[in-house]
Amino acid sequence: MQQGQPMVIMGDDAQRVKDKDAQEYNISAARGVAEAVRSTLGPKGMDKMLVDSMGDVTITNDGVTILQTMDIDNPTAEMIVEVAETQEDEAGDGTTSAVAIAGELLKNAEDLLEQDIHPTAVIKGFNLASEYAREQVDELATEIDAEDTATLKSVAETSMTGKGAELEKEVLADLIVRAIQGVTVEADDGSHVVDLANLNIETRTGRSASESRLVSGAVIDKDPVHDDMPTDFEDANVLLLNDAIEVEEADVDTAVNVESPDQLQRFLDQEEEQLREKVDQIVESGADVVFCQKGIDDLAQHYLAKEGILAVRRTKKSDMTFLKNVLDSVIVTDIDSLSSEDVAPGTVQRDTAEELFHVEGPDAHGATLLLYGSTEHVVDELERGVNDAIDVVATTVSDGRTLPGGGAIEVELARRLRDYADSVSGREQLAVEAFADSLELIPRVLAENAGLDSIDLLVDLRAAHDAGDENAGLNVFSGEVEDTFDAGVVETAHAKEQAIASAAEAANLVLKIDDIISAGDLSTSGGDDEGGAPGGGMGGMGGMGGAM
The residue type of 359 is: V
| Mean per-residue pLDDT pooled into runs of 10, the chain (548 residues) | 54 60 78 87 87 83 83 79 85 86 92 90 95 94 90 91 79 92 81 86 88 91 91 91 80 65 66 85 92 92 92 93 91 90 92 90 84 88 89 91 93 95 91 95 93 92 94 90 92 92 90 68 50 42 40
- Among residues 95, 188, 115, the alpha carbon closest in space to that of 387 is found at 95
pLDDT of residue 16: 60
Q: What radius of gyration do the chain's Cα atoms show?
A: 29
- Give catalytic status of residue 375 as yes or no: no
Distance CA 90, CA 464 (A): 32
Using one digit for the tens of pLDDT, what is the confidence trace for 460-477?
999 999 999 999 999 988
Is there a catalytic annotation at residue 96? yes
Which residue among the candidates 40, 62, 151, 521 is catalytic per the annotation? 62
Q: Out of 95, 151, 158, 161, which one is annotated catalytic? A: 95
Is residue 219 a contact partner of residue 327, using CB atoms and an 8 Å limit?
Answer: no
CB burial readout 349-377, b (16+ within 10 A) else e: bbeeeeebbbbbbeeebbbbbbbbbeeeb
pLDDT of residue 301: 92
Q: Which of 58, 65, 96, 368 is catalytic?
A: 96
Strands 310-312 and 289-292: parallel
Q: What is the pLDDT of residue 522?
A: 57
Tell me which of 73, 297, 342, 388 is the catalytic residue. Answer: 388
In 184-268, DSSP assigns E strands to 184-186, 192-194, 199-205, 213-216, 218-220, 233-241
The pLDDT value recorded for residue 139 is: 93
Beta bridge partners of 483: 472
Q: What is the predicted pLDDT for the residue at 330?
A: 92
Q: Is residue 388 among the annotated active site residues?
A: yes
What is the per-residue pLDDT for 305? 93
Is 62 marked active-site? yes
